[in-house]
Structure 1
Amino acid sequence: MLNRSVNMNSSLLQNVSFVRPEYFYISGFSGIPFVKYYFIFLFVTYFIAVFGNSFVLIMIMTDRSLHVPKYMAIFNLALADFGETNALIPNLIKTFLFDSQYISYNACLANMFFVFFFISVQSLTLVVLAYDRYIAIRLPLRYHAIVNNSLMSAALMAVWSFSTLVVTMMVSLITRLSFCKTNEVKSYFCDHGPIYTTACNDNTVNSVMAKLWTVLFIYGPLIAVTVSYIGIFIELTKITTWEGRLKALKTCFSHMFLVGIFLFPILSTYIAALTFTLHPNARIINTSLSSAIPPMVNPIIYVLNTKEFKDFIVRMLKRRSKVMVHVLANETNL
C-alpha cells in the first residue's frame, strides 16, 4: 500500500511503469474546524432523505391514481435521490464514527460510479420534468395525448442508459492511471477530479471525460431547463388573467425550486474554481452540501406542494383513524 502524500524521486518514477494502490486515503474533512458538528448535520440529513424518499416511492407505487407520466418522473427522481444518499453519506458517517478514511481501490471506483451515476440521473430527470411542465402549459388540451406513460417510460429509460454509458466510461478510464506519487484523495468521497489529477502518467483522456460529464450533466441540463422555462414564461404572457398565470406558474414552483438547489450550488463551485483560487475546504463543504441537501429537500417540497400527495396523506390518516376507532370499539365491547 502506498503511503498518503508520498513523493518519489525522478529516477524511481522513471522505473515505475504502472502502480495501482491497494487503498486510497480520503482526506476531505481532515482539516476542517468543528467538523464533528457537520457530521451530525449529515446524519440528520441522511435520516430525513432516506425516510422522505422512501415515503414518496411507496406512495407512488401504492396509489394507482399516481401512475401517470409526471409521477413516474418524480418516482425516478426520488429513486435517484435515495441511491445517491446511500452511495455518499453512509461512507462519510463511517469515517466520522470509526475514523476510517481508507477505502480499497475497487470499492473507491464503485463509490465513484454510483455517486456520479445517481447525480447524472437526477440532473437529466429534472430536464424531463421541465419538458413535462412545458407541454402541460404550452398544450394543456393535448398534454395527455403527447406525454403518456409509454413516452415517459422511454425517456426515463434513456436517462438511465445514457447516464450508465457516460459514467461507466469515465470511471473505467481511471483504471489506466498509475498512482506512483500519492494515494491521498483531497475530497470527501472517491471524487473523479481529485483522483485523476494525482496520477503520474498522462491523464488527458480523463480530463476530457471530466469536462464532457460537466457539459452533459451540469451545463447542458441547466441550458435545457432555462430554455424550457423561457418557453413557459412566454406562454404565461398569453394568459389574460393574473389568476390564470399564477395557477399555471404554481404547477412549476416545485420543479423550479429543485433545479435551483441542485444545479446552482454545483455550478457556483465550478465558476468559482475558474475565476479565482477556491480554498479546498470551501470546495469540499460546498460540493458536499450540494450533494446532501437536494435528496433531503426534494420529497419535502413535492409532498408539501403537490395536491395529490397531500390528499394521499389525508386518506392514509383517515384510514388509520378508522382502524384505531374500530380497535377501541372492540376493546370496549370486550
Structure 2
Amino acid sequence: MPTALVTGSAGFIGFHLCRLLLDEGWRVIGVDNHNDYYDPALKAAREAQLTARPGFRAIRGGVEDQGLLTATFAEEAPEIVIHLAAQAGVRYSIENPRAYVQANLLGTFELLEAARAHPPRHMLLASTSSVFGANTEMPYRETDKADTPMSFYAATKKSNEAMAHSYANLFGLPITMFRFFTVYGPWGRPDMAPALFTDAITEGRPIRVFNNGDMKRDFTYVTDLVRAIRLLVDAVPGTAPAVQGDSLSPVAPYRVVNIGNGQPVQLMDFIAAIERATGLEAIRRFEPMQPGDVPATWADTALLQQLTGYKPQTRLEDGIAAYVDWFLGYHGRGAAAQVKAAG
C-alpha cells in the first residue's frame, strides 16, 4: 500500500481527505495536536472514526514541534505528504498573531526540513484564496499577483508559498500549493459561517451578516475539494511540460493550483439555502465589513481541469442540505428544529 502523511488529520479537511485515501487502500499517517482553537471534542470524534479504520496511524503533536516531523518522515518514509495543519481564521489572526507564526510559519519550516532530509515523491501544501487579498479582478487566476494580503493569516499563507518555492528550487522537492475557496460540508469547523448560521437559526438567535450582506463567496463542498487534492497527487510538478495557463515555476518543480467551485454565491442566497434546509427563517443583524475580510472571492479552476480533468460541481442546495442534516444530527437538534419549523 502507498503511504501518505497528512498533517491536520483531525481537522475538517484533513478528516475527509484521510477517509478518501483509506477508502482507496492507502496507508495514512495522521499528525494533529488537537489544539483548542475550537472544541477538541469535535477533532477527537473525527479522529475516532479514522483510528477505527485499518491502515490509519494517529500521531499527536504540533507540526511546529522541533524534530517531530523529521522523525516521522524517517520512520514512515511517506511517498506523498499533504500538509493541512495550520492556524486558520482571518479574524483570530488579529487577536493572536503569534499562533500563526508558530503553526503556519514555523510548522511549515519543520515540514520542509523533514522533506529535505527524507524527500517524498510529491508534497501538496494548503494555501488559501485569502492570499489574493485586495485583488479586484475576478475570477482569480493562479498567475495573478498576490502581494496585498488583507490579514496576517493571509500573509503567513503567502509566506508558506514562498518558503515552499525556495525548497523546491534548492532541493528539487516537487511541491504543489493548492488554494482553497470557502470550504463547507459535514464535520465543518464551528467558527465558520455554515455552523454559526445554522446554530443561530435553529436556536432562534440573530445571525451576524457582515458588509450588510453585500458579499460573495466561492463556496466549495468538502468532498469536491478532497477529490481534487487526491487527483493532484498524481500531477507531480516537473514530470510533464506546462499546460495552458500553468503556474509551473520556470526554475523549480513547483506549482500553485486553485480549488474552488468556480461559481460565486451571494451571501444572502447562502443564508436562504440554510433557511430552506432547516425550514426556519433567520433573524438577520446587518453589520459593516470586518477588518481583514474581503467582499468577494471567485476561483478560476481552468488549471485544475487541465491537470486532472476534474471540476467541483456539488450544487449549493445539495451541499447545504447535507451539512444541515449532519449538524442537526451531531448536535441532537433534529427534533427541535422540526418542531420550530412546524410551529
Taking structure 1 as the reference length, the TM-score comes to 0.27
Larger radius of gyration: 1
Greater RCO (Cα-Cα under 8 Å, separation 6 or more): 1
Structure 1 or 2: larger strand share?
A: 2
* Larger proportion of helix: 1
How does the TM-score come out when normalised to structure 2? 0.26
